[in-house]
Structure formats: structure tokens, C-alpha cells
Structure 1
Amino acid sequence: MSGPVLVTGAAGFIGHATAHRLLERGETVIGVDIVNDYYDPALKEARLSTFNGRREFSFHRADVSDVEAMAALVRDNGVKRVVHLAAQAGVRYSIENPFAYEKSNLAGHLSMMEACRHAEGFEHLVYASSSSVYGEKPMGGEGFTEDEAAMSPVSLYAATKRSCELMSQAYAKLYGFPQTGLRFFTVYGPWGRPDMAYFSFTNKIMKGEPIEVYGEGKMARDFTYIDDIVDGIIGSLDNPPERGVNRVLNIGDSHPVGLMTMIETLEEAIGHKAEKIMRPMQPGDVTATYADVSKLHALTGYKPKVMLKEGLGRFAEWYRDYYNR
């Protein structure tokens, strides 16, 4: 194995899980995260505490948009592979605080590409994109494919993620280092993000509070369990494209589930019924997401294993343990 792997967003949901998987297979991992307060920093700190005692893991509390700090981290540690997952997440928050997305997503991505292009013998940059780049698309028929134009984002968050893909395209052509952008579909599971619907629903159901169901419950999402997502990330990292190529791949479950079905499955996992308040669609949301993962499967053998009932059951068990409910 060629030196340590740098994982940005290591205190985040997906970054935390990815770093652990890399450690489990004998890699040395350098984690980076600013640990901001977009959601409860205590959860991020708790994730980081799971690395205590792992000598192969080191952590740097830093902002990925800090160009000099990122360049030094890559250069001084002989980093040749980067999994760049740090970003300002959330469709709805991008309407309230747009400049957080400009700094974390655009400046942060450019900072990481600059660090990678100056690294000697650099091998592969894997970075997080999003299914939100596809915009609104009628449900039914085929899933979203990477060959679609993806030029009609309906939120600033989506626009920043598509912009990152285009910047990577330019850098791959200009400087030659291989890159892979992963378009994540809805990721869920233990240690997840509290701003996600399944997480906030669980919190309210367990407190006996009503839940707000947007889009009148008619939305559908391609829910993908965290362990399956990490399979795809590691598989992509291990199979870089040719030099000069920025490859974009869907990573999801490819079995979209209606929002009301998800809620029913969650109620079963928790053991309580939810009082539901139906709300209209919110700005920036899309009706459905549906991943065609045939390219990722052909490259890595990727095939999601954890179905929604099992995955939400595991999440509910973790939630009770973590929050002592």
C-alpha cells in the first residue's frame, strides 16, 4: 500500500465509517475535519472518540479550504490517495446560508485538488458528489444514469456539487491525476446525520412528538445503508481511472422507497406509530431519486446487501444506545 490515505470529513457520517474500514484493512489514515456546528458537534466528537487508541489514525482539526494547510498535510505525509468527503451538506440549509457552501464545497474542493496536483506520484482523488445534481426527474422507468446532462440543479447545494465535478474535469485534463466523483444517494444508518429525515423522525417519534412529512408523503428516495456506501467508496479508491480522467459514478441502492413506506418501516423498528402532519414540498427538494449503479458494479462488483428494514432496525438500535432511550 502506497502511504497513508487522507480522509477529509473524518468526523462526519460517511467519513467516519470510511476511515474505520480503511483502518480495518491495515491502512494508515489521516483524518481532517473542522468539526463545525451545522449539527450537534457532540455527535461529531463522539464519532472521533471511536478512533481513540488507533495508532494508525491521526486527526487534524482544520478547514479544507485552507490551501496552505492542506498542501502541507499532503506533501509532508507523502499522501498519494485522498478520499475527500468534507463538505457543507443539506439542500434546505443552502437556501439559508449560501456562503457556507461557497467556502466548504467550492473553495474546499479546489484546495484539495491543488494539494493533490502538487503531490509527487499522486495516485487517486475520490471525492463526494451528490444525486442532487440530477435535479427534478419524473419517477418511473430507468434510474438516473451518469450520462445524463445534470445541468438543471434545483438547489445551491446541487449546483456546488456539479461545479466540483466540472472543476475536477478541468484539473484531470490539465494536470493528469486520476479522479473519481461519487454521486451519493440518500445514505442512512448508525452514526448518521441528525438533519436527515429518518434521524429526525426517530427523535420525534421516541419523544411522542408529531413528524412533518413534506411533499405530502409522495416523495421517494434511494436509501442506501452506510456499510454498502463504504463498500463502493473503497472499491472506487482501489480502481482509479486512467491518468487525465475524471470519472463520475452513481453510488446508491437502486431500489427507491416511498417516503410513507420508509416511515412505516421506521415505526416498526421503533415500536411506535407516528403522528403525521402533511406539508407541501419544500424549495430545493426533488420528488424522487433512483440510482443506476451499473457502472460502479462493473468496475468493483458493488452490490448493496442491507435492505431498508434491516438497516433501519440497526439504526434504531444504535439510536437507543447512543441517546439512552
Structure 2
Amino acid sequence: MTIIVTGAAGFIGSHVCRHLIRRGEHVVGIDNLNNYNPVALKHDRLSAIRGEEGVGGRFVFHHLDFADHEALEAALAGESIESIVHLGAQAGVRYSIQNPRAYAASNLVGHLNMLELGRTRQVKHLVYASSSSVYGTSPDLPFRVEQRVDFPISLYAATKKSDELMSESYAHLYRLPQTGLRFFTVYGPWGRPDMAVWGFTDKILSGEPIEVYNGGNMRRDFTYIDDIVTGILAALDSPPPDDGAEKAGGSHSPHRIYNIGNNRAEELEKLIALIEQACGRKAIRIEKPMQPGDVPATYADLTAIQRDLGFQPTTPIDVGIPLWVEWYRGYRAQRAA
């Protein structure tokens, strides 16, 4: 039996593929390798997957756009699919303002195509990526999966909320077991260049100025990649029962929604200080106002996922940032060689 992983060449998806292979699963990865982030980085992530010890024939990759349902169905014809981990999406809050149609294609049509794949193949479980962005500027901290999320302040957030609603309809109509995961500011090895942790590190090491928004008066629930993967696999291995009971997020169908974060709202200034310390040099700063679509704070309440799956993050940023910088130095040197 096969586990499908979309976004396989992405940050989180590549880590999930590697962990699934390590535990003996057969993984089929899907990614369109678009250029929103460097394509070379995506190929390097795929090389890391293929380099896993004992991978053999347990990883197959399809270069395709899952928003193209005909290409998706053709590529997976004949595959016996057990579960789907749908992590692929058009990412980025600010880019959704510049290129909204990319989000409609990938995050709306693409999500629908994965739901249809799950329905027609009668998969055991579909785990999909949502986002902490759905909480918008809610002042109710920490964010709880039970609270209303009806006021997105970016199109990206709106598409992720829409994904949750589409998933609920498929869980209700077709009893398709699903778990939606609201990720909180993920960082770590093989991360994303469009995220602050990567950008700050790269610029500080290069002696270039960093842009600090809102005077640094922002807080984020920074979550190390290993903790994220632990949560994804715990969710994957525990499909929601179709028992009529209320699930995390409020559904009575086989559909749950969880936060995955570090359960700490860290000041941006602390993040910058830790990166400076790990890099061994101070940042040159350019102060900027808050950007459209951005939020002042994120903070995950983990009560539901701790109760149901026993999830507990283990990597505070004091530990995770030095690990990240060490990896980044090595990767940067490798690319420069």
C-alpha cells in the first residue's frame, strides 16, 4: 500500500517523506517544482529523500501539478493508495496579494482534487495542511481550534479556511476520514527562503541588512521541523473515528482540526538575538512598518492534539535556532562549492 505525499519537494513534505521511508513505508511524492522558492533547493531536497538509507524502490516521484486532475489521475492509475498527506500548496501570505490566481488554482482546485482522489480511492485517511493564518488578527491568545476563524486578512488565509470547509463537506457527505493541521511558523533544516528565519540568517552571515517590521513588536510560535513531523505522523496513524462524537474543531463527522505549534509566543527580538549569537555577528537593521496581511502575534493552544494524540513539542527556539544555523552554514558552503 502507498502513502501519497504532496509538496514532496517542499520543506515539510520532504521531511515527512524521509521519515515515512525510514519506517518502511512506500511513498509516492508529488510536486510541481514551481519557482516560488528556488527550484535548485527543491531538487536538493529530493536528492536527500533519495539518499535515505535503504530507500530502494520505496520512493517514487511525480513532477506534476495536482491542480491538474487529469494529470494527477493518470500518474496514480494503478496505485493502491492507503493514505494521503496533502502538504502541497501555494505558500506565502504576502505573495497572495501579488498573485491571487496561483492560490485559487493550487489551494482551492488542488485541494478539491485531493479530496476527490481520497473519495474515489476510499483512502483510510487524508491528512492536510492548514495554517495558523486562519486566525487572522484575533486577540484571543493562545489560538484555540474551537474559536471562530471567519475573518481572514489575506487571501492565503482565506484559501486555507476554505480547504477546511471543503474537507468538512467531504467528511460529512462521503465519510472520508480527515485531519487538518494548522501549522505555526515552521523552521529548521531544508527550510524556506521566503521565511524570516532563513532570510535573517542569510543576510546576517552575508553582512547585509535585515528588514525588521513593526519595530520588532511581533510574536510568533516558532516550531521546529522535527516537532512538526512528529505531529503529522501521529495524526496520520490515528484516523478520526466515524462515531458521531464531536471532534477537535467541532465536527461530528470523521474530521478533526488541530494546531501544531511550540505553545510559546516568542518575541521577534529574541529570534534575532539567537540568530546573531549563532552566526557570531550582529544584524544590520532596517526598520519597516507592518506589512499588509501580516499579523502581530501567533500562539498555539495545543490542548486538543495533546489530549487526542499525546503530541508535545520538545524543541524551544534556544535549541532549534543553533541547530538551524549549523545546518544552513553547511548547506550554504555546499552550494557555493
In 1, Cα distance between equivalents of 2:306 and 2:69: 35
| Number of the residue aligned with 1:105 | 107
> C-alpha deviations, 1:197-238, integer Å up to 9, x for none?
010011111110111001210000000000000000000000
The answer to whether residue 23 in structure 2 is matched with residue 31 in structure 1 is no
* Pairs within 5 Å for 1:30-179: 30-52=28-50, 54-55=55-56, 56-120=58-122, 122-138=123-139, 142-179=141-178
Query: How many residues in Structure 1 have an aligned counterpart in Structure 2?
Result: 320
Instruction: Indicate the SS of the match to 1:17.
Output: helix
Instruction: Indicate the SS of the match to 2:110.
Output: helix
Structure 1 stretches of 5 or more lacking a match?
A: none
CA displacement at 1:138 relative to structure 2? 2.7
In 1, Cα distance between equivalents of 2:303 and 2:180: 15
* Pairs within 5 Å for 1:195-206: 195-206=194-205
| Number of the residue aligned with 1:261 | 270
> C-alpha deviations, 1:221-267, integer Å up to 9, x for none?
00000000000000000011123422111110011101011100111
In 1, Cα distance between equivalents of 2:158 and 2:147: 15
Instruction: Indicate the SS of the match to 1:31.
Output: strand
CA contact (8 A) 1:74 1:119 kept: no
In 2, Cα distance between equivalents of 1:199 and 1:206: 11
In 2, Cα distance between equivalents of 1:158 and 1:85: 15
CA contact (8 A) 2:128 2:180 kept: yes
* Pairs within 5 Å for 1:175-194: 175-194=174-193
CA contact (8 A) 1:70 1:112 kept: no
In 2, Cα distance between equivalents of 1:73 and 1:302: 34
| Number of the residue aligned with 1:282 | 291
The answer to whether residue 221 in structure 2 is matched with residue 222 in structure 1 is yes
Instruction: Indicate the SS of the match to 1:76.
Output: coil
In 2, Cα distance between equivalents of 1:195 and 1:146: 26
CA contact (8 A) 1:187 1:224 kept: yes
> Are the structure 2 counterparts of residues 181 and 75 from structure 1 closer, same or farther at C-alpha, using a change threshold of 3 Å?
farther
| Number of the residue aligned with 1:311 | 320
Normalising by structure 2, we get a TM-score of 0.93
Instruction: Indicate the SS of the match to 1:5.
Output: strand
What is the letter of the counterpart of residue 258 of structure 1?
Answer: E
Normalising by structure 1, we get a TM-score of 0.96
CA contact (8 A) 1:183 1:248 kept: yes
Structure 2 stretches of 5 or more lacking a match?
A: 243-252
Deviating beyond 6 angstroms after TM superposition, the runs of 4 or more aligned structure 1 residues are: none
In 2, Cα distance between equivalents of 1:242 and 1:186: 29
CA displacement at 1:72 relative to structure 2? 4.1
In 2, Cα distance between equivalents of 1:241 and 1:51: 29
Instruction: Indicate the SS of the match to 1:310.
Output: helix
CA displacement at 1:75 relative to structure 2? 5.0
Shifted more, 189-198 versus 236-245: the winner is 236-245
Instruction: Indicate the SS of the match to 2:50.
Output: coil
In 1, Cα distance between equivalents of 2:270 and 2:31: 35
In 2, Cα distance between equivalents of 1:123 and 1:94: 32
| Number of the residue aligned with 1:17 | 15
In 2, Cα distance between equivalents of 1:80 and 1:26: 14
In 1, Cα distance between equivalents of 2:105 and 2:311: 32
